[in-house]
Each structure stands twice: as C-alpha cells, then as structure tokens.
C-alpha cells in the first residue's frame, strides 16, 4: 500500500472516531437505536437458524444483518443519505418477505418473492403488508417518508437547499464522505433515529 492510501485510511479512521464520540455525546438515542437494530438482527437470525425455508429467516440473515451493519458504518462515516436508503431497502424487503410464508427451494422462493412484492405498486404492497401485520398504514408512511425525503433526488436537493437557506450552511453529508458532524446535523440524525425506531417496531410486529 502506498503512503497516500495509508494516509487516507488514517484520516478516515480519525473521522469515524470523532463522529462516534459526537454521536455518543449529542445523539446517544439515535446511536443506541442503530446498535439495537444490529442486536435485533443477530437475535432474529439465531432464533430462526433451524428453519432456512422460513422467509423471515432469509430476511434476517441476508438483508437485515448486513444492512443494519451498513447503517451503522454509514452513520459513523457521516453518510446520512445512505443510512436512509438502507432503511428503505430493509423495509421493502421485510414487506416482501412477509407477504409470503415459506418456500421449498431457492427458485420457488424467488418466484414467490417477485410475485408477492414487485408485481404491482410498492405503495400498494406496503399498505397490504401493514394490514397483514395489523398496523394499517404505518409501513407505507415510513416508506413514503424515507422515499420522499432521502431516496428520491428531488427530496435530497430540496432538503439541501432548505438547509442552506435557513442555516446559511451546507450539511456535512453534502460534502465529501467521510465528514465530521456538527451541531447543524443533529436534526437529521434525530430523524434517522426515529426512522430506525419505527422500523424496529414493524419488525417486531411481524414476529408477533
């Protein structure tokens, strides 16, 4: 490895350490929600390990587990938009897997998965999912919030312009990544914590 690459990695690690300290000091609730999402994934994967043909086991191992770690790492990097995008991926996958019950083989599973979620409007499937687990439009409302505010370019650009107009400052996530947080980022970080909390509630509703 050349010296430039080593220096870059050292700088990245320094930003991660400083952001971790910032989160624990000023946004502990969000940081804890992020860690608990990982713990949930570990628990769910362990409890369902004997039943691989259970759709929730597939979700907890191959979607929730890696993406929950990804949310944590992107939070430490300062890459907040990526965190919200990963939450939407988890939510859509949770809905899709919950609309099927079990599968006998891999090909059967993917066929059912595609039929259950991706044939039709995602918004309709989120509503169907909410009705199935008894929480009505809660999954759809979270999905809509994630999509409009953080996934669609229009939402991100609108948020960026609003931040610049109101605070005369560019949010850290709109600069180079990784970037150290400032107090101006706390509102967005708090929003992330609220979304993680709601997602965890929906996963628990599926289990119930």
What is the overall mean pLDDT for the chain?
Answer: 86
Residues 6+ apart with CB under 8 A from 111: none
| Residue closest to 93 by CA, chosen among 49, 141, 55, 149 | 55
Report helix angle 28-47 to 65-77, nearest 10.
160
pLDDT at position 99 is: 81
Alpha helices in the chain (DSSP H): 3-26, 28-47, 55-59, 65-77, 80-98, 106-113, 122-133, 138-146, 153-167, 186-207
pLDDT in tens, 10-65: 989 999 999 999 999 999 999 999 999 999 999 988 776 656 556 788 889 889 99
Q: Is the peptide bond before 178 cis (omega within 30 degrees of 0)?
A: yes
Please tell me the distance from the alpha carbon of residue 198 to that of residue 196, in angstroms, as a whole number.
Answer: 5
| Dist. CA 178–CA 49, nearest whole Å | 36
Please enumerate in sequence order all residues whose Cβ is within 8 A of that of 95, keeping only pairs 6 or more positions apart, or say none: 117, 125, 126, 129, 139
Q: Can you give the pLDDT of all 208 residues of the chain as single tens digits?
A: 688 888 888 989 999 999 999 999 999 999 999 999 999 999 988 776 656 556 788 889 889 999 999 999 999 999 999 999 999 999 999 998 888 754 445 556 666 665 666 667 888 889 999 999 999 999 999 999 999 988 887 777 877 777 766 766 777 887 888 999 999 899 999 999 999 999 999 999 998 7
């Amino acid at each position: 490895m050349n010296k430039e690459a080593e220096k870059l990695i050292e700088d990245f690690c320094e930003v991660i350490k400083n952001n971790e300290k910032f989160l624990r000091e000023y946004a502990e609730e969000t940081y804890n929600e992020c860690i608990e999402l990982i713990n949930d994934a570990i628990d769910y994967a362990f409890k369902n390990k004997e039943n691989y043909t259970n759709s929730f086991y597939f979700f907890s191992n191959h979607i929730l587990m890696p993406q929950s770690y990804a949310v944590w790492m992107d939070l430490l990097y300062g890459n907040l938009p990526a965190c919200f995008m990963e939450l939407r991926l988890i939510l859509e996958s949770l809905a899709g897997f919950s609309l099927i019950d079990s599968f006998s083989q891999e090909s059967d599973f993917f066929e059912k998965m595609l039929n259950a979620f991706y044939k039709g409007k995602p918004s309709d499937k989120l509503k169907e999912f909410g009705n199935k687990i008894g929480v009505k439009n809660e999954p759809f409302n979270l999905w809509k919030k994630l999509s409009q505010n953080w996934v669609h370019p229009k939402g991100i650009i609108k948020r960026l312009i609003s931040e610049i107009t109101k605070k005369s400052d560019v949010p850290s996530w709109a600069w180079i990544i990784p970037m150290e947080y400032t107090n101006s980022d706390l509102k967005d970080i708090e929003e992330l914590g609220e979304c993680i909390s709601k997602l965890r509630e929906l996963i628990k509703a599926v289990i119930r």
